[in-house]
Chains A and B, each alone.
Chain A
Amino acid sequence: MPGKLKAKIVAGRHLPVMDRASDLTDAFVEVKFGNTTFKTDVCPKSLNPQWNSEWFKFEVDDEDLQDEPLQITVLDHDTYSANDAIGKVYIDIDPLLCTEAASVISGWFPIYDTIHGIRGEINVLVKVELFNDLNRFRQSSCGVKFFCTTSIPRCYRAAMVHGFVEELVVNEDPEYQWIDRIRTPRASNEARQRLISLMSGELQRKIGLKVLEMGGNAVVGYLQCFDLEGESGLVVRAIGTACTLDKLSSGSAPNTNTHVHPNTAPASNACNSPSKDGKEPVFGEDLPSSSGPPTPFRALPTSSSSPPPFSPSKPCSRQSSSSDTDLSLTPKTGMGSGGSAGKEAGPLKTLLRQQTQTALEQREFPFFTLTSFPPGFLVHVGGVVSARSVKLLDRIHNPDEPETRDAWWEEIRQEIKSHAKALGCHAVIGYSESTSICEEVCILSASGTAAILNPRYMREGCLDIGSTDHRFEEPSPPSCGFCHIPYDELNMPFPAQLTYCYHCRRQKVPDVLFTTIDLPPEAAVTGKGCLIQARLCRLKKKAQGEVNATAISNLLPFMEYELHTQLMNKLKLRNMNALFGLHIQISVGENMLLGLASATGVYLTALPAPGGIQIAGKTPGDLSNEHHILTIQKRINDAIAKNKELYQINPPKLFALDPEVFCGINMELTEEGVGSPIPEPRQRSRLFRSHSESSDELSELDLSHGKKDAFVLEIDDTDAVEDIHSLLTDAHPPTGFYSCNTEIMPGIYNWTSGIQMFTSVRVFRLSNANLTNQGLNKIFTDLCENLLKSFYFKLRSMIPCCLCHLNFTVAVPEEELIQVTVTAVAMTFDKDQTQEKPADKPITKGSSETEEQLQFPLELCADTSSANTQPSSKISGVPESTNVSSRAASVDYGSFADRCSTWLELLRLKAHTIRRGSVKTISSLERCSPLPEGRSRSLRSSRSFGGSSVTVVKMTPLSFLPGIRIIKYLGIINMFFIRETTSLREEGGVSGFLHSFIAEVFAMVRAHVAALGGNAVVSYSMKECVLMENPNKNQAQCLINVSGDAVICVRETDQETTASMTNIGQTCSSGTDGAT
């Protein structure tokens, strides 16, 4: 019995009137955990009852602590009839199970009822006493930290990145059980909420176990989703990246932390259960610098972990899914494996590739849900890999054996893995999975970015996010390294135009780069980025079962192709050459499919300038047609010119001096490699589609006329004209606005602290009349465009500002409805400084100690020289030629790697200096962070203003807050709510209903965060917003799932003062908290 949970009910306020006669309420509270229930006394005739109960104690297993929520029910006592429920509060106590997270949950929680919404608030205190349990067969995984953030959380450093973890659990959906016919909607909703809460807890626990097995202590980029499969059940699944994180604390000197491999690595090894060694990544031998002498590190015992015996191949055993449901289109494409791709390359390169690949291949899935990496981790990016598969749902017969669903995902992951291999990559980053369900058909999708990672960094535990936070301009930044092609240029997986990198001129780069990750912070970018969306509707016949699934399967490749073409055209039109954060969603409805691709376009300095778009007619003789084409061409050229200006794209002329030379090389390459001088549009991209076989016909396009570097659009029918029109009708954001779907906007560096997170939902009802593909496309495009316009208008007071992390989700909830849900954050920035990238990188990451930064260049020089003089330095393992500025004449990969690693060493050295300087600050923060009330002064100042006692909680979908430093992560927030109404009209129709529900969800998230002692939520996302309505019956129901990381943060300028103030403030504020 390893845990004791204690709860105390303090008081209530703003309760609803439950007794019409007295206009008062006789409230009492039931506190339930597992099967144990306690009750408070009845507090008669009060809308603001003071219970001040004793401590209710639950003695429970830690397994239950992880799975179960604490359930608090507020009721109205009735002497004669049954007690009426006022509402409930579910408290997830997981954050209390982690020693580093919150220590107490204390605060006002909204009392929530699935029929009436929020009905008053209740003040609750919860504590957990955990006893140490050394049972190695335990089922719980207390202490594993979970983060939604898809990068290494600030204030931690990654000692080790272990890799992909996944799990899913299934159950019957209470809404579809027989009992649902006889119980009230309230009971049914509550059963569902409770079940999902239990399932999430269980899922998290199971994933935690996997992490412990791998030797990790945290999951980063945790992504949990629900599949409401209706009749066939309820699936909760999650993926994440297992890591070993070290808290950056003031106590341990950073010097030792970063470089002591003997300390960190063996420690993590020790945690490993021997049986799972197969999954343990072994990268010891995979130094990218094959030319350098063995570094001391390699001789260390830590790297001695012998090649793993055998990695248990789970997929093989599970692939036997029932054949009748398996309608997966996925062709087992025989694309060249990475191994063969490397054969023709230089010996060094091959060696390297083979080494790193074998290392990563030993993992079942070398996937990473992270989208942003510490510098040096990401070596090369191949391109987007994605896979989709259409499945027919059937009832989950045995919830304990979710084999079918597991097998489905296994299959898709295998496919992704093989795509990545074909791109010459050994890993997939920015990986995510999603589903779209309509009746019994389900589309499973997975996508990510094929990449080559630096295995050294995963091995050594050098992902020092804490130190790399303090970034600065590099003498020679690897701002282009990740763009260099990972695959072999002579044996490319697809035809592409390659040129020498416009930045370093040493390596080949593709002409266009698509990725699902965030723009690496060190990347060199010209001008600003912008949101690029491709939108598409496709009608399909209504059908049932397999016919339906086949129809959908057949449509998918066409949709992907068209979305892709649209993205490409729009990218060219904006004069950009790369997409980041690409997310393609395909949503299925009864009679149509919706496709929405969102990404942030940028001009990467390293990549060649995009050619223009050229319009060509099919029948050249026609004069009027010719004229028409000319006008369109002019409009397009104008648009490109305008965009160039708008996004300030003025590529440096340095490398563009002799384009002919590059062009020549280009031609040569493509001709040699592929034999087709002009790649057809589809092939230009790095997007790998699993349905590639269907696009054969499309590659017949003859594009032989016109400029070689121009992108040719052919007008042969009205469709094409429409397409071009829609291309041109995309409105630009109004002056002062920028938008992107990545964490931060490329090209904006000086954020100020103003933020506004919002969620917007629009549902559009189609009339039968205009149900053509073209008409639908227009409607869908307008819907998205109008939404954006609405945002710009609503947020106009924040100008200049940028809408970041614009996350669009589309759904077809009913036959004639299109639902678009958007969550994003608007952030203000300082307009005056936008032109230049400031010397000390984003303020969001920077430290507040400018004087320390000023010292850098000096110390940096010193460190460099010392590193130079001691090439075999124990701590760094710097290869011999460490002169950063030296330009080696040879362009071979090995030397680049040398320079790269050298640079990384330098970075680390510099990082030390910073950290040494900032020890004082950190220590002062540490002092205040354990306090539950470390809520900064804003709380107290707002209190004095009109007696407000509500903590301001900021929310953002990003992993950081501008101008504010996160000092502590309090745990994951993962909440699921159902709201139902039978008086839709009275609540202001569907809009009124959903508006108040979303506001309520926000309120409950804020309340939970505040109760944990936090003042912000980062990496917030609304995973699910399922709305069902029946206006005729005056009814509606909505399900919302949200998640994020609760944090304590302080203003960067306030740090010192807050630290000293919170000590004083704590006693007062905790006192007042109880009293209000």
Chain B
Amino acid sequence: MAVELDVFVGNTTIMDEEVYQLWLDGYTVNDAVKVRMEGGVMDECEASADVLLSDTMDQYRTFQMCERLLHSPAKLANQLLFQIPPHRQTVLIERYYAFDDAFVREVLGKKLSKGTKKDLDDISAKTSVTLKSCRRQFDNFKRVFKVVEELKGPLVENIRQHFLLSDKLARDYAAIVFFANNRFETGKRKLQYLTFQDFAFCAGQLINNWTVGAVDNMVEDMDVDLDKEFLQELKELKILITDKDLLDQHKSLVCTALRGKTKAFNEMEANFKNLSRGLVNIAAKLTNTKDVRDFFIDLVEKFIEPCRSDRWTAADMKLYLTHYTNSAHILDTFKHQVVWDRYMGVIKSCIFKMYHD
């Protein structure tokens, strides 16, 4: 004695957003029913557990049937199988491509390969995101990566058009793709305090200023690969630390400007040479892929950590970096103003973002 078959099909596809979220989160039907019962949905319509189970099963089936379409969201709009109102389509897509910050933090910068996929159960255990949900998110990253890999034009725009995502989500995906492509190291213990949003912001900065696309917007991979020429030119900045006069001159200019404006002045003055060396060395090494990967760890080790141990406030940091950047323009023997600006612009905003607890 059992219900052998139970289906409900509406001309307009009925989708409950709450159930959709549970499905996305990888709950089994039974778990989802439990969650819904606890949520009090039963009181709404004098429903019983059976009704809830039947509804949940139906919805899960609908989502499974829709999933294939969600893999190429453009199809969702002109498929004929499900009649879904446009605003609901947008919600479906947006939610399907949404991800958990905890999860993305784990795979950010990792190669989106089968190897990483095998480790998903560890990540699942660590982040307490269900394995099913991890897989979906990982597959989404990989799918987006694969599609935009072969496309010309701006990365964010490509993602937005191909996957019909909101601007915000498209930017996040651009960051994920950018990180995965350049394999930035984000997993080290020292970087643990940084959130995905910190990295996404930095990625945006790098994409907008350091990639090929920042100069030429019709090249393949333009927003994914860093501008090689620019990286070469960065070597020239070394003069700021190798030329003793220049270094001193730079220091005195910065110190003059800072004097009396901050409590941390003494520490700034004392550490100037160290910090400057740190930043310029990062710039000079970026031609090596290995050093590119360590970009963020270097920033933290060479700059953020020393400052933090000297208890600089965020305002101090801002003040210091502003004057540090600007003072270089006054150095008459320093000829690489354009490169310097392009470099320091990004560094400055990245450090501002990353300088927190």
B interface residues, how many (CB within 8 angstroms): 46
B204, chain A: closest CB distance, angstroms: 25
Q: Is the CB of A999 within 8 A of B65?
A: yes
A1006 within 8 Å of B (CB atoms): yes
A1006 to B50 alpha-carbon distance, docked (Å):
32
The residue in chain A whose Cβ has the minimal distance to the Cβ of B93 is: A946
Q: Is the CB of A763 within 8 A of B86?
A: no
B52 within 8 Å of A (CB atoms): yes
- With beta carbons under 8 angstroms apart, the residue of A947, A949, A991, A1006 that contacts B6 is A991
The residue in chain A whose Cβ has the minimal distance to the Cβ of B86 is: A945
Q: Is the CB of A817 within 8 A of B7?
A: no
Q: Is the CB of B5 within 8 A of A991?
A: yes
A525 to B74 alpha-carbon distance, docked (Å):
51
Q: Is the CB of B5 within 8 A of A1027?
A: yes
Q: Is the CB of B9 within 8 A of A990?
A: no
> A796-B45, A946-B164 in contact; A758/B11 too (CB < 8 A)?
yes
Residues of B within 8 A of A954 (CB): 11
A946 to B50 alpha-carbon distance, docked (Å):
37
B194, chain A: closest CB distance, angstroms: 34
B329, chain A: closest CB distance, angstroms: 47
Q: Is the CB of A756 within 8 A of B14?
A: yes
B48 within 8 Å of A (CB atoms): yes
Residues of B within 8 A of A948 (CB): 77-78, 86, 89
A946 to B89 alpha-carbon distance, docked (Å):
9
A523 within 8 Å of B (CB atoms): no
Q: Is the CB of A762 within 8 A of B55?
A: no
In the complex, per-residue mask of A989-1013: 1 if CB is within 8 Å of any chain B CB, else 0: 1111011101110110011000000
Residue of B62, B76, B81, B90 most packed against chain A (CB within 10 A) = B81
A195 within 8 Å of B (CB atoms): no
A770 to B2 alpha-carbon distance, docked (Å):
12
B80 within 8 Å of A (CB atoms): yes
- With beta carbons under 8 angstroms apart, the residue of A758, A791, A942, A988 that contacts B61 is A988
Q: Is the CB of A995 within 8 A of B80?
A: no
A151, chain B: closest CB distance, angstroms: 22
**Interface range on chain A: under 10, 10 to 19, 20 to 34, or 35 or more?**
35 or more
- With beta carbons under 8 angstroms apart, the residue of A110, A756, A945, A994 that contacts B10 is A756
In the complex, per-residue mask of A979-993: 1 if CB is within 8 Å of any chain B CB, else 0: 000000000111110
- With beta carbons under 8 angstroms apart, the residue of B4, B58, B82 that contacts A763 is B4
Residues of B within 8 A of A1003 (CB): 80-83
B75 within 8 Å of A (CB atoms): yes
Chain A interface secondary structure, helix, strand, loop or mixed?
mixed
Q: Is the CB of A793 within 8 A of B51?
A: yes
Q: Is the CB of B78 within 8 A of A990?
A: no
Q: Is the CB of A794 within 8 A of B14?
A: yes
Residues of B within 8 A of A950 (CB): 77-80, 83
A763 to B81 alpha-carbon distance, docked (Å):
24
In the complex, per-residue mask of A789-809: 1 if CB is within 8 Å of any chain B CB, else 0: 111111110000000000000
A14 within 8 Å of B (CB atoms): yes
A760 to B3 alpha-carbon distance, docked (Å):
13
The residue in chain A whose Cβ has the minimal distance to the Cβ of B14 is: A794
Q: Is the CB of A766 within 8 A of B11?
A: no
In the complex, per-residue mask of A940-984: 1 if CB is within 8 Å of any chain B CB, else 0: 001001111110111100000000000000000000000000000
B57 within 8 Å of A (CB atoms): yes
Residues of B within 8 A of A945 (CB): 86-87, 90
A429 to B6 alpha-carbon distance, docked (Å):
35
> A793-B47, A793-B52, A1076-B78 in contact; A994/B7 too (CB < 8 A)?
yes
A313 within 8 Å of B (CB atoms): no
A786 within 8 Å of B (CB atoms): yes
Q: Is the CB of A790 within 8 A of B54?
A: yes
- With beta carbons under 8 angstroms apart, the residue of A765, A942, A955 that contacts B4 is A765
A362 to B13 alpha-carbon distance, docked (Å):
50
B64 within 8 Å of A (CB atoms): yes
Cross-chain pairs A/B with CB under 8 angstroms, 29 sampled: A110-B81, A731-B46, A756-B14, A757-B10, A758-B11, A760-B7, A761-B5, A762-B3, A763-B5, A765-B1, A766-B1, A786-B50, A789-B46, A789-B48, A791-B8, A793-B47, A793-B51, A945-B87, A946-B76, A946-B77, A946-B86, A948-B77, A948-B89, A949-B77, A989-B5, A991-B5, A995-B9, A1003-B82, A1006-B80
A-B pairs, 4 with minimum CB distance: A945-B86, A763-B5, A948-B77, A767-B1
- Known A945-B87, A946-B86, A1076-B78; 10 more pairs at CB < 8 Å: A734-B45, A760-B8, A764-B1, A793-B51, A817-B4, A819-B5, A946-B77, A952-B85, A995-B61, A995-B65
CB within 8 Å of B: which residues of A?
13-14, 108, 110, 118, 121, 731, 734, 756-767, 769-770, 779, 786, 789-796, 817, 819, 942, 945-950, 952-955, 988-992, 994-996, 998-1000, 1002-1003, 1006-1007, 1027, 1076
